[in-house]
């Protein structure tokens, strides 16, 4: 059947169903197919915390949203153009996010009385006026998949499980995606069970052929590749990019990398990824708890390695005492906090930016550390390198504040030229450093960095005492002297404040904006998209984004004071805004939410428009 092909510049698709329906896998495969075509991409996985969430219920819905375009995009999209709903729960949980006119592909086999009752539908929404105004495509995904696999050597249960591949085949046909990589993926995934390879490939092809032959889908769509800098790209999640950044830091420093970690959502993928890279000198240890994990990482740093520990908010709370110990010992240590919604266990699979106060201030005593935050999934690679650079150069713990949105989202990443990455090589102490030529002073500082020597245990003549008690300046002996304690506290703080970080850059194309939007971490995309939309409407607005949160850029105060209004959107109750007000005496306007979801560009655009009207 000959079908019309229509060109689009962008599309947002959301796959939704039960946790067992394979929506994350389906979305990931569609994203990989899309990446091959060269579209710009941004994704938003969203799934329950429970391993076996209640089937057919609203809390059990898992979804994966992918936004792809023929131009540079900054977010996974505010609202889907297409929803694939595998059951009534998926439809009900996501319907409010759809604009009128959106396409809805529903698996009619799951719209039974029992499943409808589970989510509170008194009648079938496919038969009443619930979906008026939408382009509804009823497809019997389950039964058609089972029928397509009737000749395959698989059970009915395994055949039903392949319905996500039928859906993927249909969407791949609709949006003209290449599918060869998906077929190769299935061959690898089920390599030990050839019957499942054949069944899933058959289901995928059946979905593709259904789109080709059915009269319900009369149009195919194409989205041309985006114009991007030349080079080799791969689609990457934030956790994977951060892992590779740590691997690169080990290579560029010439040091072994040691990761001490306890599994915790959403940071566990970093442990999984780093465990694959032993050939690059990476050692991973799954500890019995969070305290053991950071203790081992700090011990590795004492022994001359790049010590790293990964966790989320609850784990940072447990690691606080050892972070303070690292401050006192003045040893390099990278602490990765992939933030999630709290407090306590909170919502483990949802995003939040609520750990900034803990990163900046959450330790006993005066224990300052450096804090940085990546702005996007691919930026996690460079943020990890920067965290390692600061830790190694200034002998300090560094907290890297990622979050669930960045960690599990994905985007194209331009593979860097390895030679262009920073040189992180470290000079260990190898000989006595006192004027007498025979004594080693472990706290004799470099006058530029204020960093103390890093002496690997066992180096002849460099024996020295370590521990949590206050150290005497230069000698490192235990000291209770009040003047020495005051000096050491101030010196450790001065070492952090003296770390040179790049000036904050301001995006103000015409230079006439009176409102500055300041962000940090994963708010970069929604803020950027909102500011872009406002400028296209002729409303001038400036944007600046902080990667370094401690120390802050030297020019930040001057930048803030040059605008009439400063607005700070955060996925917390205003933590950066409080710091900015206190430090720079700027009456920053906080715009805050703690819903476990990222901002949409549209809501920020609406909020900023009101601010602009009142300037």
pLDDT tens digits for range 325-341: 999 999 999 999 999 99
Would you state the pLDDT for residue 51? Answer: 80
Q: Which residue has the tokens 């994203």?
A: 31
CATH class of the region 4-223 = alpha beta
**What are the pLDDT digits (tens) for 141-157?**
999 999 999 999 999 99
Q: Which residue has the tokens 């939704």?
A: 16
Eight-state DSSP code of residue 184? H
For residues 76-95, give the mean pLDDT.
Answer: 98
CA distance 175 to 98: 19
Residue 546's nearest CA partner among 315, 353, 317 is 353
Q: What is the DSSP string of 512-542?
A: ---EEEEEEGGGHHHHHHHHHHHHHTT---E
For residues 31-51, give the mean pLDDT.
Answer: 94
Would you state the pLDDT for residue 207? Answer: 97
Name the pTM for this structure: 0.96
CA distance 254 to 260: 19
CA distance 269 to 244: 12
Grade residue 458 by pLDDT with cuts at 50, 70 and 90: very high
- Angle among Cα 401, 311, 369 to the nearest 5 degrees reads 45
Two tokens, residue 282: 């990476």
Task: Residue count of the chain, please give it.
Answer: 615
How far is the CA of 96 from the CAs of 92, 99, 357, in angstroms?
Answer: 8, 8, 34
Where does CATH 3.40.920.10 sit in the chain? Answer: 4-223
For residues 576-594, give the mean pLDDT.
Answer: 97
Eight-state DSSP code of residue 136? E
For residues 76-92, give the mean pLDDT.
Answer: 98
**What are the pLDDT digits (tens) for 483-501?**
999 999 999 999 999 999 9
Give burial (CB, 10 Å; 0-12/13-18/19+) of 134: middle
Two tokens, residue 526: 């929604």
Grade residue 1 by pLDDT with cuts at 50, 70 and 90: low
Would you state the pLDDT for residue 3? Answer: 83
**What are the pLDDT digits (tens) for 420-444?**
999 999 999 999 999 999 999 999 9
CB-based burial, 577-597: b 16+ in 10 Å, e otherwise: bbbbbeebebebbbbeebebe
pLDDT at 2 over 90: no
Where does CATH 3.40.50.970 sit in the chain? Answer: 234-420
Would you state the pLDDT for residue 465? Answer: 86
Grade residue 603 by pLDDT with cuts at 50, 70 and 90: very high
CA distance 189 to 196: 9
pLDDT at 533 over 70: yes
For residues 118-131, give the mean pLDDT.
Answer: 96
Ramachandran region, residue 315 (left: φ > 0; alpha: ψ -120 to 50; beta: rest): alpha
Supply the mean pLDDT for the chain.
96
Beta strand pairing status for 548-550 and 370-372? antiparallel
Q: pLDDT > 70: what percent of the chain?
A: 100
CA distance 50 to 88: 20
CB-based burial, 366-387: b 16+ in 10 Å, e otherwise: ebbbbbbbbbbbbbbbbbbbbb
Two tokens, residue 120: 């509170």
CA distance 161 to 26: 12
For residues 346-351, give the mean pLDDT.
Answer: 96
Architecture of domain 506-613: 3-Layer(aba) Sandwich (3.40)
Candidate CATH numbers 3.40.640.10, 3.40.50.970, 3.40.47.10, 3.30.830.10; the one for domain 234-420: 3.40.50.970
């Amino acid at each position: 059947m000959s079908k019309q092909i229509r060109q689009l510049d962008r599309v947002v698709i959301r796959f939704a169903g039960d946790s067992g329906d394979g929506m994350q896998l389906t979305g990931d495969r569609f994203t990989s197919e899309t990446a091959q075509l060269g579209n710009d991409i941004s994704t938003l996985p969203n799934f329950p915390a429970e391993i076996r969430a209640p089937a057919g219920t609203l809390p059990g819905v898992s979804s994966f949203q992918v936004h792809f375009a023929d131009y540079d995009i900054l977010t996974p999209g505010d609202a889907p153009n297409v929803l694939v709903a595998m059951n009534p729960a998926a439809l009900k949980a996501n319907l409010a996010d759809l604009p009128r006119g959106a396409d809805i592909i529903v698996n009619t086999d799951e719209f039974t009385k029992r499943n409808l009752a589970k989510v509170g539908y008194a009648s079938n929404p496919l038969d009443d006026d619930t979906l008026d105004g939408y382009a509804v495509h009823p497809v019997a995904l389950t039964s058609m998949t089972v029928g397509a696999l009737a000749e395959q050597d698989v059970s009915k249960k395994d055949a039903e499980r392949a319905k996500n591949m039928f859906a993927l085949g249909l969407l791949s046909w609709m949006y003209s995606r290449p599918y060869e990589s998906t077929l190769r993926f299935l061959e690898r995934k089920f390599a030990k069970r050839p019957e499942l390879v054949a069944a899933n490939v058959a289901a995928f092809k059946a979905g593709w052929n259904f789109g080709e032959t059915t009269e319900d889908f009369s149009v195919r769509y194409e989205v041309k590749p985006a114009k991007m800098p030349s080079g080799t790209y791969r689609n990457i999640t934030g956790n994977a990019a951060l892992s590779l950044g740590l691997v690169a830091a080990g290579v560029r420093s010439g040091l072994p990398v040691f990761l001490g970690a306890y599994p915790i959502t959403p940071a566990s993928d970093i442990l999984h990824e780093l465990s694959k890279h032993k050939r690059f000198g990476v050692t991973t240890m799954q500890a019995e708890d969070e305290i053991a994990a950071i203790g081992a990482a700090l011990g590795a740093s004492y022994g001359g390695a790049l010590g790293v520990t990964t966790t989320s908010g609850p784990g940072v709370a447990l690691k606080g005492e050892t972070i303070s110990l690292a401050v006192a010992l003045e040893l390099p240590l990278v602490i990765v906090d992939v933030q999630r919604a709290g407090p306590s266990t909170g919502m483990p699979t949802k995003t939040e930016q609520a750990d900034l106060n803990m990163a900046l201030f959450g330790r006993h005593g005066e224990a300052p550390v450096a804090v940085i935050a990546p702005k996007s999934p691919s930026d996690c690679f460079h943020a990890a390198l920067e965290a390692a650079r600061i830790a190694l150069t200034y002998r300090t713990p560094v907290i890297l504040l990622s979050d669930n949105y960045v960690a599990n989202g994905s985007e194209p990443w331009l593979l860097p030229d390895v030679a262009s990455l920073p040189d992180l090589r470290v000079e260990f102490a190898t000989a006595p450093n006192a004027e007498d030529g025979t004594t080693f002073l472990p706290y004799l500082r470099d006058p530029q960095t204020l960093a103390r020597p890093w002496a690997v245990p066992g180096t002849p003549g460099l024996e020295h005492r370590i521990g949590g008690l206050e150290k005497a300046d230069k000698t490192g002996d235990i000291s209770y002297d009040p003047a020495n304690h005051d000096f050491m506290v101030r010196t450790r703080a001065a070492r952090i404040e003296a770390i040179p970080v790049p000036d904050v850059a301001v995006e103000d194309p015409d230079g006439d904006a009176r409102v500055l939007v300041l962000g940090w971490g994963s708010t970069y995309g929604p803020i950027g998209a909102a500011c872009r939309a406002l400028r296209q409407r002729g409303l001038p607005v400036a944007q600046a984004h902080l990667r370094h949160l401690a120390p802050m850029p030297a020019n930040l105060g001057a930048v803030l004071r040059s605008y009439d209004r400063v607005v700070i959107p955060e996925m917390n109750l205003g933590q950066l805004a409080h710091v900015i007000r206190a430090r720079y005496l700027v009456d920053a306007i906080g715009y805050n939410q703690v819903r476990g979801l990222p901002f949409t560009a549209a809501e920020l655009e609406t909020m900023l428009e009101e601010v602009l009207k009142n300037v």
